[in-house]
Amino acid sequence: MSLSDLQIKNAKPADKARKLTDGGGMYLLLNTNGSRWWRFDYRFGGKRKTLSMGTYPDTGLKEAREKRDAARKLIAAGVNPGAQRKAVKAAGVDRAANSFEVIAREWLAVRQHEWTPGQFAKERDRLENHAFPWIGRLPVADVGVAEIRPLLARLVKRGHKEQAHRLRNQLSRVFRFAVATERASRDPAADLRDTLPARQPQNYATIIDPVQVGELMRAIDGFTGTFVVECALRLAPLWFCRPGEIRQAEWAQFDLDGQNPVYKVPPMIQKLRKAAKENPNTKPHSVPLARQAVAILRELHPLTGRGKYVFPGARSSSRNMSDGAVNAALARIGYKGIITGHGFRHMARTLLGELGWNPEALERQLSHKEPGVPGVYNKTQHLPERRKIMQEWADYLDTLKAGCD
């Protein structure tokens, strides 16, 4: 049964708070001190939530019902009213509820569960740095090609072509979200798809000439920095893991004493989608360890083995080594811009391919999935062959270091 203003005015507080129901999930919470709070209960994402809608009489019955109806419309469109309110607050109380920034922050909130914290921060920061200052206050329905083009041109002029493409794609996704939630009628960012300069292939700097690889290995042996970074630098070409899988490695993930020494890279630090990282059925990626890699790890263990991380940070053993440590070490030995930590993967894949090793086994060692339908069904890991590959590769690097090819 719906409430009336007379019922609300005549309602008297009791020994405990009670609800005066109006319908559609809305009620007036009458507190023991006589205060009256409008509340709206709803379910979103399978969970019960409550939205505050003001106090009576500052917010009258008619206005409260309008807020309830607006919230129910958002829910029907797939938007959490609570998240929408937070987006409005984050954008600033002086901005319209349907401004581009509010809609974009709603979209970020909707997609956040699909992303890792790092990816969410990148998506948010790109909008905050390159879109909100110029179009954030504008009603989303009023933003068109004329308003978006300068944002992209600014990035292109500074040489950030890839960032311009990513921003255009991100803006397009925000506009499609606005269309789906009935706050806009079209996606103007899509019209600018063909106006941007073509993407340039981004390849990590690497070395694939055997003679130069030998020179690099000798330079690595001459590194004079901290022992922890030295070990990471010596292991990087032997593992050809992604840089994050090296610096975040933990001793508990290693088996150095078994017949087949291995580093089992946990899903949380692999290059996977968030759902795969958090899926308990996702298996770790096995990195067989050559004799040379085991020797380096055994040498390092007395120094860092009592802690969590194989490569702890310089300032605190409770944190792993910084993400720029290996590249800084390469720069220190004269290889800045010539090879990066990620470039060791390209180096290994190229040279091992030229040595005739099974391409499928090499791709598995790089933790690459076979594309398309075959990748769904083909679960072969080639682990015995990969053990041979890793040992042959370590021996080959030793040969090149000695000046032989």
Between CA 29 and CA 42 the distance in angstroms is 16
Whether 12 is catalytic is no
Whether 368 is catalytic is yes
- State the angle between helix axes of 227-239 and 291-304 in degrees (0 to 180), rounded to the nearest 10: 150
Between CA 278 and CA 297 the distance in angstroms is 29
* Selected catalytic residue, list 271, 273, 291, 298: 271
Q: Is there a contact between 79 and 106 (Cβ–Cβ < 8 Å)? A: yes
* Cα distances (Å, whole numbers) of residue 209 to 82, 212, 216, 269: 58, 5, 10, 31
* Selected catalytic residue, list 49, 124, 137, 368: 368
Tokens in use for 178? 């606005």
Q: Is there a contact between 207 and 193 (Cβ–Cβ < 8 Å)? A: no
Query: What is the C-alpha end-to-end distance of the chain, expressed in Å?
Result: 88
Whether 48 is catalytic is no
* Selected catalytic residue, list 342, 346, 349, 364: 342
Phi, psi (5° rounding) for residue 38? -80, 135
* Selected catalytic residue, list 165, 183, 242, 346: 242
Whether 345 is catalytic is yes
* Selected catalytic residue, list 16, 157, 306, 377: 377
* Selected catalytic residue, list 67, 234, 247, 345: 345
Whether 9 is catalytic is no
18-23 vs 26-30, strand pairing mode = antiparallel
Tokens in use for 342? 């990620």
CB atoms < 10 A from the CB of 173, how many? 16
Whether 342 is catalytic is yes
> What value, to the nearest 5°, has the Cα angle with vertex 283 and ends 342 and 310?
50
Between CA 193 and CA 83 the distance in angstroms is 30
Write the burial class of residue 199 (CB in 10 Å: 0-12 exposed, 13-18 middle, 19+ buried). Answer: exposed
Between CA 374 and CA 354 the distance in angstroms is 24
Which active-site residues does the annotation give? 242, 271, 342, 345, 368, 377
